[in-house]
Amino acid sequence: MNVKHLCLFLAASCTAFSLQAQSAERTGYPTLDTPPHYDESYYPDIRPVEDQTQAAYLLVLLNLVDPVEGVDPDEVAPPEHLEEIGLSKVLYDVLGVSIRQQSFEKLASGYGLEPGRFAPFSDDLLQRQREVARKISEDPNLSNIAELAVISFHHPDPLVRVAAAPLVLVTTDGRDRALDTLREGSRSDDARIRPLALTLLARYSPRDSALVAWRKTQPTDPGQMEEPGTTLVIHGTWARNNDWWQDDGNFFEYLQHDVPVDDLFLGDDPFAWSGDWDHDERVQAASDLVSWMTAHGETCVDIIAHSHGANAAFIAASQLDYGRLIVLSTPSHKTKYPTDPDTPILSIRVKLDLVVLADGGGNRFPAAPNIKEEYIGWFNHSATHYPDEWEEEGVPGIMPPGQCSP
């Protein structure tokens, strides 16, 4: 091998799932090229296409009411993406407004909404939900946001309920109810709901018992070290036991046969980390990555990283020489995980990524000459590792060349 390249496919915060992928990645929510207008999304009762727009609207409001430190509003919800679903920067006006929690019981009882009852909305309730959403889009205030959150929290679609839960937690006194809904979502069989709920639960209740089964998984025994000079596929947050990134997974197979990467790693000791949604675990993952590289005799690496896996790679940048970084659906936290200015970076994203919104990170990196951002759809955090999406959008053809010397 003349060129030692390593492509790390670090799948992170939000597990990746695909309609086109294995049966373990089933979801009832289609991947969208074009989203519904936000107002249109409030006419139906349950429609998986429109309800994704509702979920995005709620999560955008969450991050304006309760922003993550160091993430600007135009990064978490780029204004041109809001405009495409009929919203505007006027939503930013709520940023930094002091929160006075309202009574969950009063808001719910005013509409006859009962705990745990998710019957189809009446026409009157659908109309009121739509009216409140319109009011917020024109003149956002916490009272209307809390009202929309409580109505949406009783929606028949669990995706909408999960997206509404943290907004209920922040704007009302219904914290316990909100956490129960997130715990229920974390047990969902639907691959779009589960990672969304897990990420929101980790954000608002990081020591929650419902997260125990998903974190601190012991790394596998690396056994005998394989030959260096490889392309390695690796998991990320919540995704340690997923199969799409492993050597019999659909993305792995696609990379092996259809994408210009070097020496796809087929050994028994791939890099692995805990997969926990936690900053300290990403720091540990970066350290483990450096150790893995050293043990394999690597000196220069190319990286393809999904979600927070890219942030683990950014942390390790001071100790590793990168040829290129191809990052997929990566939450941007510019103060915690600054990008490497000396490496060409291709960032593939979806607009208003639900899991990035749940994380509270930016859905774009700060502009820099070495970074190219490409968007390939809407809402679905996992779509950036779908082979069909890569082919349709021509991702292999826009990958930057590696810079590692032979």
Q: Which domains occur in the chain, in start order?
A: 8-20+217-398 (3.40.50), 30-189 (no CATH)
- Closest C-alpha to 21, from 239, 259, 329: 239
pLDDT tens by residue, the chain, 406 residues: 333 444 444 444 443 333 333 334 689 999 999 999 999 999 988 899 999 999 999 999 999 999 999 999 999 999 999 999 999 999 999 987 888 899 999 999 999 998 878 888 999 999 999 999 999 999 999 999 999 999 999 999 999 999 999 999 999 999 999 999 999 999 999 999 999 999 999 999 999 999 988 876 555 444 444 554 566 666 767 877 788 777 888 888 898 888 877 666 676 777 777 878 999 999 998 999 899 888 888 777 788 889 998 999 999 999 988 888 889 999 999 999 999 888 999 999 999 999 999 999 999 999 999 999 999 999 999 999 999 999 999 999 999 887 776 5
Distances (CA, A) of 154 to 30, 168, 216: 22, 11, 33
Which pLDDT score is estimated for 253?
86
Which pLDDT score is estimated for 276?
86
DSSP SS3 for 284: helix
Half-sphere exposure of residue 233, counting CA atoms within 13 Å on the CB side?
26
Q: Which amino acid is at 346?
A: L
Which pLDDT score is estimated for 16?
33
Which pLDDT score is estimated for 70?
93
Rounded Cα distance, 203 and 381, in Å: 17
